[in-house]
Amino acid sequence: MKLSVSELVTADRQSLDEPELADSLYAMAVGTVNRAADLCHLDEYVRAILSQPKNSIIVNFPVAMDNGDYHVFRGYRIQHNNVLGPFKGGIRYHPDVSLDDVRALALWMTLKCSLAGLPFGGAKGGVKIDPRKVSQHELRKVTRRFTSALGTNIGPDYDIPAPDVGTNAQIMVWIMDTFMNTTSSLTRQSQLNVVTGKTLECGGSQGREKATGQGVVFVLEKLLPEMGIKLDGARFSIIGYGNVGSHTSKLLCERGAKLVGVLDHSGAIAAERGSGVGGRGSGSVAPSPQPPVPGPQSGGIDAHRLADYVARTGAVAGFPGADAVDADTFYRLPTDLFIPAALERMVNEDVARKLKTRVVVEAANGPTTPGAELILLERGIEILPAILCNSGGVTVSYFEWVQNKNNESWTLDQVDSRLRRYVNEMCDRVSRTREKYKTDVRMAAYIVALDRIRTVYNQRGIFP
């Protein structure tokens, strides 16, 4: 948490390295864009613009901690592109936040907003902090100081933050309140939409908390029939049981799917032997080395009970009603859907070789490495990309932004209905593009996103 001067200098050197480094997340993101750009013959000038963020903001700010010490925190706000509209993207609190990672996440946000048909560009932010190791009082002070340091680099019609890993509705409310009290150029009401993902009482939207998970489920409801998979009875495992993982799991189980395994920072759990979920998923692509575990078809981990347990304990380890397993066993569970819903690069080449699944559903940003992607595709495993599956959150954030601007409040049914329509139209665009270019779902999604950005640049031209 505490950064010495030498550590800050080292972090500067590491952060300012070019993205061509082999282990760079940004290089991974740009590489995928370039592959799609080659397929759709993207204009070279558009490719060059998208290869670097428009603005990179780094702030270092001191905070007085509860014990009287002063700690210097580092924060980032990367504004990648705003040709389609105001910058939009979450703020992450995590001890491993780096400039490289935030750049990649901002690029993905540009593409995600374009793919979803939203009037937003892409941005991302973060603070290098472990929110689980500080008090609520300290967390509030860090948030207010970070917001103050960003100043007018954010704003309701310029750059609109939202929650991400390690942040939540309460933190968004603190950002909003700090911005309101430090910026006098606008009326108080019009500044409600400086952030999205707020509490309902402070201008948030119905359905925002579950929005990313809801979007994942709507994508699956739309695309799985094309793959010959029925959601009712489908078996799935998931990495991460935070906001996205828990809501995705609960919504899938409500539709008849079976949760067979969960992995998080504390370890892995699997459905108890004899629950009927230890065998093959319907049509799993790779044979299991062991015979299926007999049992009734109605088994599985109770997603709602697990969500309550994680809310109390902070982890899945020790959950009653499931067996503790090692990571290797978790990855080899036969499933129809494997859903990484945590951090980036969770599915590497080693994991890709172990998976016994039909579809990898990227509920998190950038969870699959390029090497792993090649292995999965060679094995006939479909990959539904994050810019498609993960778009529910930013779409409902857009709905919240619109409600704040118009002083409206939509019902949950209105939000869900609008989200389903956006997701269905997005999936239709991807399916048509996949057929046109005879490519996989990831490349089709990227091509749709790049095509919209290209069209706008060609129509607007480059100033001056």
In degrees and rounded to multiples of 5, residue 213 shows phi and psi of -65, -40
Distances (CA, A) of 330 to 105, 269, 272, 382: 27, 7, 13, 19
Is 124 one of the annotated active-site residues of the chain? Answer: yes
- Between strands 235-239 and 258-264, the pairing is parallel
d(CA 396, CA 401): 9
The one catalytic residue among 2, 54, 112, 124: 124
Closest to 164 measured CA to CA, from 77, 238, 63: 77
Q: Positive or negative CA dihedral for 401, 406, 408, 413? A: negative
3-state secondary structure the chain: CCCCHHHHHHHHHHHCCCCCCCCCHHHHHHHHHHHHHHHHCCCHHHHHHHCCCCEEEEEEEEEECCCCCEEEEEEEEEEEECCCCCEEEEEEEECCCCHHHHHHHHHHHHHHHHHHCCCCCEEEEEEECCHHHCCHHHHHHHHHHHHHHHHHHCECCCEEEEECCCCCHHHHHHHHHHHHHHCCCCCCHHHHHHCCCCCHHHCCCCCCCCHHHHHHHHHHHHHHHHHCCCCCCCEEEEECCCHHHHHHHHHHHHCCCEEEEEEECCEEEEECCCCCCCCCCCCCCCCCCCCCCCCCCCCCCCHHHHHHHHHHHCCCCCCCCEEEECHHHHHCCECCEEEECCCCCCECHHHHHHCECCEEECCCCCCECHHHHHHHHHCCCEEECHHHHCCHHHHHHHHHHHHHHHCCCCCHHHHHHHHHHHHHHHHHHHHHHHHHHCCCHHHHHHHHHHHHHHHHHHHHCCCC
Query: Burial letters for 221-245: b for 16+ Cβ neighbours within 10 Å, e otherwise?
Result: bbbbeeeebebeebbbbbbbbbbbb
Query: Are the CB atoms for 360 and 347 separated by under 8 Å?
Result: yes
Instruction: Write out the catalytic residue numbers.
Output: 124
